[in-house]
Amino acid sequence: MSREPINLTLPVERAILVSAPFKRSSAKHFVDEHLQELARLADTAGAQVVGTLTQQLDRPHPGTYLGSGKVEELKERIKELGATLVIFDDELSPAQGKNVELIVNTRVMDRAELILDIFATRARSNEARMQVELAQLEYLLPRLTRMWTHLEKMRGGIGMRGPGETQLETDRRLIQHRIRILKERLADVERAREVQRQGRHTHFRVALVGYTNAGKSSILRSMANDSDVFVEDRLFATLDPLTREVEVGDGYTVLLTDTVGFIRKLPHHLVASFRATLSEAREADLLLHVIDSSHPAWEEQRDVVDGVLNDLGLSERPLTYVMNKMDAISAEDASSVRERVANLMPNSLFVSALEPGGLDGLKATLLHSMRNQRPILEVHIPAANGRLIAEVHRDGEVLDQRADDDVIVLRARLDERTIGRLRQSGVRVIVTQGVTRSTSPNVAAVPLP
């Protein structure tokens, strides 16, 4: 007798999206864009959006976020549309989420929980999985009461006497213990990452930062000519930092790193957990803030990213704005974008990761930035020391060379690591242009005329 195969596929959640901007905030002007972004997040998480609900608020209701009448309307919409999930575009307090669930009798989640769920499904490396788990546990901790309201205190009796610890208290203690373990393990990962960064100290390091789906991975893939770089037209396609060596011209190479994308209302637990990953951006010599020029709300997205960079202490790092996806807009819109960017962010770049030659301007900028951050020096090396002369030619850019009796004088651009090695060898180094961090007495600074 044949048996029907068992279908283990989970039913698709039918979601209603809820947006409730404040009346006096700029968010009320972007309700449609914000709901579209929330819909993309829901789609990325595997949910089907069946409806939306909006309300402009003077202030959130302390118990239900929405007004009581709107909550009743939400309850009716759920019945009408057969929804199984409600997703709020704002972060709810534990009490607000619990109260709305009780009223509408349907699972409720907020934007932060949705983003955490997406990160959990897309984390690939062990580090990313630990970071997401840490963020989830820190989000969960204050919401345990909501999840365990069906449990009662352990009753006394034979074999049950003792401290009378509740299941809630047990779970809270276990979660706090797990959080400590994850933080210790991530600290170990960061120490290992620091060792790797030290090995790359001689390279000029560039980090791609920006809003999610702005095209950072496409830029890395094109510049590195590496088809293994994962690219997908979805939010948060990249969670782990990925570094490739990229040629920028005249024999120079830079280390280009793709970092996790940011998004509006990014959960603060997630930002804190990914600090180790984002330290790649903190150690970069230059940040490239990639912006999707084809997005109607690109200015808001730029402000979101700048705000996160400021929170991470990266606002003082050298930064260049890169307007990407110029191939995706019409000539008329491109002209408008260029004019707007010229007023807001002078010296920005306009690129396309998909068009042939669309990144040539970016490569030229990286080459120029790299040269500007490397001082020009005069290096006096005894002519008999061929090893050091060869090292300068190998690791630097020699602009000219002359003989002065038994000394070879090289005029070259050098990085700090090479300058340090020359200094330890007793070589006389004179800075003729630019700045070096070296404080050695063997490194003299010559004022420019």
**CA 166 from centroid of its chain's CA atoms:** 39
DSSP state of 412: E
Q: Under the phi-then-psi rule, with left for phi > 0, alpha for psi from -120 to 50, and beta for the rest, what region is 434?
A: left
Binding residues for GTP: 210-217, 236-240, 258-261, 324-327, 352-354
Residue whose C-alpha is closest to residue 366's, from 252, 200, 449, 196: 252
Tell me which long-range contacts 192-197 makes (C-beta under 8 A, separation of at least 24). Answer: 193/276, 193/279, 193/280, 197/280, 197/283
Binding residues: 210-217, 236-240, 258-261, 324-327, 352-354
Residue 169 φ/ψ, nearest 5 degrees: -65, -35
Are 109 and 83 in contact, with CB atoms under 8 Å apart?
no
Distance in angstroms (rounded) separating the CA atoms of residues 268 and 273? 9
Distance in angstroms (rounded) separating the CA atoms of residues 167 and 175? 12
Burial of 251 (0-12, 13-18, 19+ CB in 10 A): exposed
**CA 440 from centroid of its chain's CA atoms:** 38
Binding residues for Mg(2+): 217, 238
* 58 Cβ contact partners less than 8 Å away, ≥ 6 residues apart: 22, 23, 24
33 HSE (CA, 13 A, CB side): 14
Helices (H), 52-125: 68-81, 94-104, 111-122
Strand partners, 409: 380, 402
